[in-house]
Amino acid sequence: SYELTQPPSVSVSPGQTARITCSGDALPKQYAYWYQQKPGQAPVLVIYKDSERPSGIPERFSGSSSGTTVTLTISGVQAEDEADYYCQSADSSGTYRTVFGTGTKVTVL
Amino acid sequence: EVQLVESGGGLVKPGGSLRLSCAASGFTFSSYSMNWVRQAPGKGLEWVSSISSSSSYIYYADSVKGRFTISRDNAKNSLYLQMNSLRAEDTAVYYCARVLSDGMDVWGQGTTVTVSS
């Protein structure tokens, strides 16, 4: 089955830049989406279609894509950015299934 | 305000059934595909099922295929998930979410399903 792989954790100091990668064979053919989830809360979409930012999402959140890897970048990290982050994409094999990445815990030191 | 509100969760014995509902408001529900996504305690997000705006296209994760049924009533602005033959591994918070392209831009607050004897 199709998988999206993320690092389990990323640690960053306030004001620095956090980069979270997501790898998957179908990513060159399918858009990626990124979600932020804080404890006890529902996920929130922070990036769609690889690099688009929904209204209301701070400009410090950005996305990029290169080959089989997509990256979520948080520039000038703030304490409130501490959360779990998940990438998500679609399986391109014709099964029309949605797949989530394994998730990355971002810790602000 | 665009909103999704899930209900119907609870405690059920293995092999039992439960029907989840998701009430939509603040947008034209009939224009959007919808998803169910779940999250087991301490685990990541898992896509469960998708339904197109007119119910023409329906998809399931392998883990629930044959046991769960997704449906919708556009006249009532509601999404449903009928869950049968429940197992302990179905224990999770279940979210409904509005589909934006292949992603999900609006999520409900979730409803908790616990499968235990």
pLDDT tens digits, A29-53: 899 999 999 999 999 999 999 999 9
Query: How close is the nearest chain B Cα to the Cα of A108, in Å?
Result: 20
Contact A42 B108 (CB under 8 A): yes
Which two three-digit tokens encode residue A109?
A: 């030191």
Which tens digits make up the pLDDT trace of B43-92? 999 999 999 999 999 999 999 999 999 999 999 999 999 999 999 999 99
Contact between residue A39 and residue A58 where contact means Cβ atoms under 8 Å apart: no
User: Considering chain B, what is the average pLDDT of its residues?
Assistant: 97
Does position A80 have pLDDT exceeding 90, yes or no? yes
3-state secondary structure of A19: strand
Contact between residue B16 and residue B39 where contact means Cβ atoms under 8 Å apart: no
Longest dimension (CA), chain A: 42
Phi, psi of B18 (to 5 degrees): -155, 145
Residue A83's H or E segment, with its range, is strand A83-90
Find the residue in A nearest to B6 (Cα): A42
Contact between residue B34 and residue B21 where contact means Cβ atoms under 8 Å apart: no
CA distance A2 to B91: 23
Residues of A in contact with B108 (CB under 8 A): 42
CA distance B91 to B41: 8
Q: What is the pLDDT of residue A92?
A: 72
Interface size, chain A vs chain B, as Cβ–Cβ contacts under 8 Å: 63
A95, A97, A100: residue with CB nearest B45: A100
Average pLDDT over residues B23-48: 98
Find the residue in A nearest to B94 (Cα): A42
CA distance B26 to B2: 4
